[in-house]
Amino acid sequence: MATMILALKRAARPVLPALPAVRRSWELALKRIQTLETERLRLVPLESADADLLFPIMSDPQVIAHWDCETLDEPEKVAEMVDGQVLEMACGRGFYWAVRTLEGRFLGVCELAELNRAARSAEIGFVFAPEAWSSDLAQEALEALVRCATGLNLRRLNGRTCLGDRRAEALLQRLGFRQAGLERGPLIDDQRRDRRLFALAL
């Protein structure tokens, strides 16, 4: 259903070294990361407490059908990995948001991760509840991320989907992403989860 949230693939790290302050503008941008708002949505910087709201989405068979890591079937695993995301944000490794409607309904998470200061690039990632897909809210959220990336003077956004995740592929293409190749993925439940790569020049 969605490209992988990269920090959710990895186990939470107790300590992450801070990146060298080569470009202070990145450091300042990460410190002042704020809520992004659209016509129907509010994207709020991710907090550890959001793990409780994310777990039901991560347990949804429609979501994990196109998952490229081991199923997160315990609340503690999701909590640990969201803590890892929050820590990565604090260490200057990416931007992470919880996506909510203006009424406050939690719809999922999205990110600009894998920041590359030299190439001025990042990877876009997202996991949404089915409600967000059926109402085009997923696209609205990612349009806000693309605008944010442009405001950060990024030159390129990368994305990836599991092969067969046509909904996520179509979403990236509507945003202007072009296919950029294939990547061999892991074996999950005896099935190979290869990935399709995408790129967007900003």
Give first-to-last CA distance, the chain, whole Å. 25
Per-residue model confidence as pLDDT tens digits over 107-156: 999 999 999 989 999 999 999 999 999 889 999 999 999 999 998 889 99
pTM strictly above 0.85: no
Q: At CB < 8 A and 24+ separation, what contacts does 99-102 make?
A: 99/41, 99/42, 99/43, 99/128, 99/132, 99/137, 99/141, 100/41, 100/42, 100/43, 100/44, 101/40, 101/41, 101/42, 101/137, 102/40, 102/41, 102/42
Q: CA 194, CA 126: separation in Å to the nearest integer?
A: 17
Could you tell me which residues come within 8 angstroms of residue 58 by beta carbon, excluding any fewer than 6 positions away? Answer: 64, 72, 78, 127
Mean pLDDT by runs of 10 across the 202 residues of the chain is 44 37 52 83 95 92 73 84 89 91 96 92 94 93 95 94 91 97 78 88 96
Residue 188, CA distances (Å) to 67, 164, 194 in order? 9, 15, 10
